[in-house]
Structure 1
């Protein structure tokens, strides 16, 4: 056993030396190979690599995956109208130049996040300060996103970072102006409602007046037609009466007298004070009727 112990120790030392000379670069990482404190090589492809044992060479790994920065608290940004908005955003970014990134931030990803957040804040101020609330909330939202992404990407490129995407997740009013905004919106809605009511009332009056005019026209036309027909009927009746009188005047006079009797004695308790010799009783005296 004592004879194999030195060999076992040597084998362990050899394995330890070999393991210190080999390193693996995962798919999700970059690797920076340092020689005596200086970056000698940047490895971007995954695999098994050889190096000299420490302290001659050592390896630092940097995450190459897409990363996200989410604001923990909404940023307070002022618009061109001097109104404060609370804007919540997030950024997607990745390391594109491992050497430049390490020179700027070392292996501290927190420092990179802080620097990018400061740049995002500056870009938000530059884009929001020149716009109104309406533009920020609706019409210019996409343009603001593009401006912020372009500005942050330009400033992050010298740091070895690529800004892939910037999004504004939420835009809210600050509490001190929310109430005034709601009141203004309420007033605008009331004004619009009153305008619609006034317009409806005007349309109602116009429709009613138009209906009344057409009614009067229809009634006038109907009355004219009825009068024309009544006149035609009266003319026809007069013609018939005239023709009948011409054929037998005596019978016509007798018939008209019957109509007069019927009209005079139609009511109950009718009383007439007339001379017996009057024309009204002409056909009541048979003797006289026969003499005539």
Structure 2
């Protein structure tokens, strides 16, 4: 009887480990592209595929990574500053920019991320 309990415990342990492994692999295999975003799939840091259509997608787990980019217009507002004119008067300057990522592969290879674009 004791031997049957030990076998049952081993089977339960193996089953739990298998379920956890399947969940980990499955969670790394699937990704979702939102209607507001697009992504570049990279494999070992090199771009492999561009996905612009929304939905649930599949990738190679642990090897391929997703880099998401906004499809909508991105806003950037600079810090307001004052500039001294020739007439020795201060005028206020406010800088801003609006842009949209049309080609995510070109954006990823030339700039990298949206944060890097805002910082430069």
1:102 to 108, 116, 120: 108
Give the superposed CA RMSD: 2.1
Query: Equivalent residue of 1:76, what SS?
Result: strand
Larger relative contact order (Cα-Cα within 8 Å, sequence gap ≥ 6) = 2
Residues 77 and 31 from structure 1, CA distance in 2 versus in 1: closer, same or farther, beyond 3 angstroms?
farther
2:116 to 111, 115, 135: 111
* Pair 1:64-2:51 in alignment: no
Structure-1-length-normalised TM-score? 0.34
* Pair 1:9-2:20 in alignment: no
Residues 16 and 70 from structure 1, CA distance in 2 versus in 1: closer, same or farther, beyond 3 angstroms?
same
Q: Deviations over 1:195-242 (max 9, x none)?
A: xxxxxxxxxxxxxxxxxxxxxxxxxxxxxxxxxxxxxxxxxxxxxxxx
Structure-2-length-normalised TM-score? 0.76
Separation of aligned partners in 2, 1:75 and 1:103: 35
In structure 2, the gaps of 5 or more residues are 1-7
Indicate the structure with greater helix content. Answer: 1
2:45 to 15, 37, 57: 37
Separation of aligned partners in 1, 2:109 and 2:82: 29
Residues 75 and 26 from structure 1, CA distance in 2 versus in 1: closer, same or farther, beyond 3 angstroms?
farther
Separation of aligned partners in 1, 2:77 and 2:98: 9
Stretches of 4+ aligned residues off by more than 6 angstroms = none
Deviation at 1:77, TM superposition (A): 7.4
Equivalent pairs counted in the alignment come to 110
Deviation at 1:93, TM superposition (A): 1.6
In structure 1, the gaps of 5 or more residues are 116-292
Query: Equivalent residue of 1:49, what SS?
Result: strand
Indicate the structure with greater strand content. Answer: 2
* Pair 1:47-2:55 in alignment: yes
Deviation at 1:52, TM superposition (A): 0.6
Work out whether residues 77 and 86 of structure 1, in 8 Å CA contact, stay in contact via their aligned partners in 2: no
